[in-house]
Amino acid sequence: MSIERVLVANRGEIAVRIIRACHELGLNSVAVYSDEDRGAPFVSLADQAFFIGGSEARDSYINVNSILNAAEQTGADAVHPGYGFLAENAEFAQRCIDAGLTFIGPSPEIIAEMGSKIKAKLAAEKAGVLVVPGYHGTDQSDSVLLAEAKCVGLPLLIKASAGGGGRGMRRVYELSDFTNQLHLARKEAEAAFGDGNVLLERFVENARHIEVQILSDGSAPALHLFERDCSIQRNHQKLIEEAPAPNIPVSVRAKLLEAAVQLTSVIKYNSVGTVEFIYDLKSEDFYFLEMNTRLQVEHPVTELITGIDLVEWQIRIASGEKIPFVQSDITCSGWAMEARVAAEDAADNFRPQTGTINSYTEPTGKNVRVDSGVEVGSVVSHYYDSMLSKVIVKGSDRNSARRCLSRALSEYKISGVGSNIAFLTDVLSTDAFVDAEHHTGLLSTQWPDGWTAPSVNNRYRMEAVVAFFVSSTNFKNDNKSPWKSLGAWRITEAAGRTGSTTFYVRDAEDVDCVAQISGSGISLFVCLNSETIFELTNIALKEDTLCYEIDGHRRTVSVKTNDQSVILHSGVNSHRFHILTSEKALLESTVKEESQDGMIAASMPGLIVEVRVSVGDKVEAGQILIVLEAMKLLQNLTAPRDGIVSSVRHKVGDTVDGRVSLVTIKA
């Protein structure tokens, strides 16, 4: 192989994946990292690591000069872009080649043509492949786009031409909202890809998102590695993928594969790539959407059903090797599914979560694979995408793969930062998904008012306060009363009465509960709100696992205690509780923030990209005041009521912490 040392121009789980592939091929690997990623797992996994700049992506992972300098300083002779960032940047690919480096991906010319959704549609039309009706012209003026939107009809999609991942994509149902959504789509596209060009597409409702994996060394015909179904999406971002695609007529599947091969053969594609289609369930027609000239996030499901390592073949093709097998050699065996585990609150419109991971356990077992970029101590910040890892499984058929994925998710434990694991599990159990009758609109159909997290019950509250109590005292499960060694926790009552300790338990929904604990080392009694009483025996807390017996049943629950908080894992559900002593609860109740009704706070840490009001402006309820960029997405912060702006505390370009006051409104 002509390549010896590969610089991985990416971060997180995909950097880990590429570095491991390099090691399996006997190649040296070089990681590049930002300020925020100094302690990330991918940095220590690589043979070398080189600092390339600040935490903002523009200062590091999309800073071409810094990356090329890192390649020169470390002696790298090849660059792998992963996905996202510069993966589909033709200029970057050409700069790598000009610097004498091997770019692990297709040629810059192909990236330029197919990396742009607009140019890709033109290429598909030339190849005889149907495209989604819409507008993909070069005139990007507001007036032309509005006129074309009227021609396309509603509902329609505004899509960033340069990227993917749902960024720079906005759905429009009313023409009166078109200009505002166009503005937001351009802002997101510029922030994520450095290119504000967009295209318009007719929105095909209740459709399936099907994509075909392509492998080609530039010789015709290209090879397909079958198809994947990526229809389970939220905000146009994929959540669950599977291969092969279920419930597709044999004739339609054959035409899909043929169209993908035809397009990639015509353009003489020379790497791993993906051709994406939208499939209309009613008419059984399919349309070309775009081509990703890079590795896909969901590539593992294809690897599991074909046994072909896609990263390995990216590297081999880039080094000049020819593919030694033909289409008839590639077989599809079993069924694979993948779930993207992300730091986000699915019950709050998938709001990204930030924090430090303080406990982390990945699922294991036969046919279970986890591609992860985090570990205990990893900091999940607002600078990058919210995805933490991917859980990939294989089964003999679709149902066995689905059951395996549900089980694996139930074994996944993360604390310190919220995750979407419970939501993913609920999706897997919906009737539509079980019966393979799902579509891209399933989530809004299944949960029209949004997904609701499982309710907290008294058993969870009891377990949380017991875990906190045991971890905070010298509790010992023996015949001696623990109250003799409780120190500051001990409350002495009148002679002849049993001592008790009072805690205030608050769940994520700000529901308070008063818990009193009393008893001995053999039994503990927990009373909640002077009503519900639990009697526990044989209690032990070891290595973040609480064990106890109640009514003859032995229970084991995963917990993580930290200062005044407890995170409790019950199956796939995670619940966070704040546990306060009487004194601390009284102190907290006296601390009140300024008039919450009129305060607009940052929903999470992020970068202010737009301030639409000034002091003295009159605003109406629902009016957008601030646009915040966090984890590559834009969030509109709106006025909670009518009023006059009395203060604007931050300006465009400021980085702010979560929950800080940005704007105050007075009636």
What are the backbone dihedrals phi and psi of residue 544, each rounded to the nearest 5 degrees, phi first?
Answer: 65, 25
Which residues lie across from 210 on neighbouring strands?
229, 277
Q: To which residue do tokens 């091997």 refer?
A: 102
Classified as helix, coil or strand, 188 is helix
The answer to whether the beta carbons of residues 511 and 528 sit under 8 Å apart is no
Q: Would you give the DSSP letter of residue 457?
A: -
Give CA–CA dist 539/519, Å, rounded: 12
Are β-strands 500-507 and 379-380 bridged in parallel, bridged antiparallel, or unpaired?
unpaired
511: Cβ contacts below 8 Å, ≥ 6 apart: 456
| Cis peptide bond N-terminal to 221, omega within 30 | yes
Q: Would you give the DSSP letter of residue 175?
A: G
Q: What is the DSSP string of 35-60?
A: STTTT-HHHHHSSEEEEEE-SSGGGT
The answer to whether the beta carbons of residues 527 and 516 sit under 8 Å apart is yes
Residues marked active site are found at: 294
Give CA–CA dist 210/247, Å, rounded: 12
Give CA–CA dist 337/83, Å, rounded: 20
Run of H or E residues at 185: helix 178-193
The answer to whether the beta carbons of residues 478 and 496 sit under 8 Å apart is no
Across 135-153, b (16+ Cβ under 10 Å) vs e yields bbeeeeeeeebeebbeebe
Helices (H), 370-476: 398-410, 421-428, 431-434, 442-446, 458-472
Question: Could you tell me the maximum CA-CA distance found in the chain, to the nearest angstrom?
Answer: 92
**137 half-sphere exposure, CB direction, 13 A CA radius:** 13
Question: Residue 189 burial (CB < 10 Å; 0-12/13-18/19+)?
Answer: buried
Q: Would you give the DSSP letter of residue 150?
A: H
Q: Would you give the DSSP letter of residue 100?
A: T
Give CA–CA dist 81/295, Å, rounded: 9
Give CA–CA dist 376/395, Å, rounded: 30
The answer to whether the beta carbons of residues 507 and 552 sit under 8 Å apart is no
Give CA–CA dist 195/219, Å, rounded: 32
| Cis peptide bond N-terminal to 482, omega within 30 | no
For 354, the token pair is 């930030």
Which residues lie across from 578 on neighbouring strands?
506, 565
The answer to whether the beta carbons of residues 271 and 106 sit under 8 Å apart is yes
Give CA–CA dist 536/390, Å, rounded: 38
Question: Residue 644 burial (CB < 10 Å; 0-12/13-18/19+)?
Answer: middle
Q: Which amino acid is at 477?
A: N
